[in-house]
Amino acid sequence: MIVAGNWKMNKTNQQAKLFANTLIQRLAGMKLRIVLCPPFVCLSDLAEVLRETNLCLGAQNCHYEKAGAFTGEISPVMLKEIGVEYVIVGHSERRHIFGETDEFINKKVKAILDNGMTPILCVGETKEEREKGLTFCVVESQLRQGLFGLTRDQIERIVIAYEPVWAIGTGIVAKPWQAQEVHGFIRKLLKALYDENLSKKVPILYGGSIKPDNFFGLMAQPDIDGGLVGGASLDEQFVELAKILSWFV
């Protein structure tokens, strides 16, 4: 079970350190995988703050090249060196606001794995796509392309996050059965692409308007292995979410 907080473009370095210290105290001893994904400029300091705690560090993005003329980008080598363990990739905000394609995302997934970190590959349909009945089709295509060319060993080291775009930051959370339907589909797809054993090893997180009052129902679903949380990861609610998830461990 994993709970990852995607802070997006929120919190300055000072605020991040303060909040991380509070979380360390409040979440001490919990047997969950708890991942904090702050903005890039906070990673280095948070790596120090989180050292020897049960909280891990994640980044929200990275480039696929090791180094070079890519103004404004951060490479996986840089992230690895400061102690980043997870990298969110293919988030819908990156796909839709910054125009990232599946091919670009696939290169990043490979680069993250090659540098010994775990990609959290996000997939999910827009409201329009859902209304047209295209949910499974979109999710399958994003997954097939995002995972293209990965070896079995690499698949064992990835995390998938199903994040319906219509649920992200909208307050409209997927109903537990709606999320389970897609999670079950993803599990079946992994089984078809690889095998049943492998399909069970890949954690599939749900993301989109998770709050303490809707989290339990989602996490009680058989194919939901945790949450990727935006807004509710920025304050005390994150502690509540971790507590709820720890009932399932």
Residues with catalytic function: 91, 163
Place of tokens 């907080």: 5
Question: Considering the rule CB under 6 A, would residue 228 count as an interface residue with ligand PGA?
Answer: yes
Q: How far is the CB of 109 from ligand PGA (least distance, A)?
A: 17
Of 210, 219, 244, 245, the one binding ligand PGA by CB under 6 A:
210
Q: How far is the CB of 105 from ligand PGA (least distance, A)?
A: 15
| Distance set, CA 115 to CA 6, 34, 64, 144, 245 (Å) | 21, 21, 10, 22, 29
CB of 105 closer than 8 Å to CB of 144:
no
Nearest to 160 by CA among 144, 173, 171: 144
Q: Which stretch binds ligand PGA (CB under 6 A): 55-63, 67-75, 131-139, 228-236?
A: 228-236
| Distance set, CA 123 to CA 105, 113, 139, 145, 168 (Å) | 11, 18, 6, 11, 12
List the interface residues with ligand PGA, window 65-124 (CB under 6 A).
none
Question: Considering the rule CB under 6 A, would residue 208 count as an interface residue with ligand PGA?
Answer: yes
Question: Considering the rule CB under 6 A, would residue 163 count as an interface residue with ligand PGA?
Answer: yes
Of 3, 6, 57, 110, the one binding ligand PGA by CB under 6 A:
6
Q: How far is the CB of 131 from ligand PGA (least distance, A)?
A: 19
Question: Considering the rule CB under 6 A, would residue 229 count as an interface residue with ligand PGA?
Answer: yes
- For residues 45 and 202, what is the distance between their CA atoms, to the nearest angstrom? 30
Burial environment of residue 88 by CB neighbours within 10 A (0 to 12, 13 to 18, 19 or more):
buried
- For residues 241 and 226, what is the distance between their CA atoms, to the nearest angstrom? 10
Residue 4 or 155: which CB sits closer to ligand PGA?
4
Question: Considering the rule CB under 6 A, would residue 169 count as an interface residue with ligand PGA?
Answer: yes
Residue 1 or 199: which CB sits closer to ligand PGA?
1
Count the site residues for ligand PGA by CB under 6 A.
13
Of 115, 118, 142, 209, the one binding ligand PGA by CB under 6 A:
209
- For residues 212 and 22, what is the distance between their CA atoms, to the nearest angstrom? 18
- For residues 219 and 1, what is the distance between their CA atoms, to the nearest angstrom? 9
Binding site for ligand PGA (CB under 6 A): 6, 163, 168-169, 207-210, 228-232
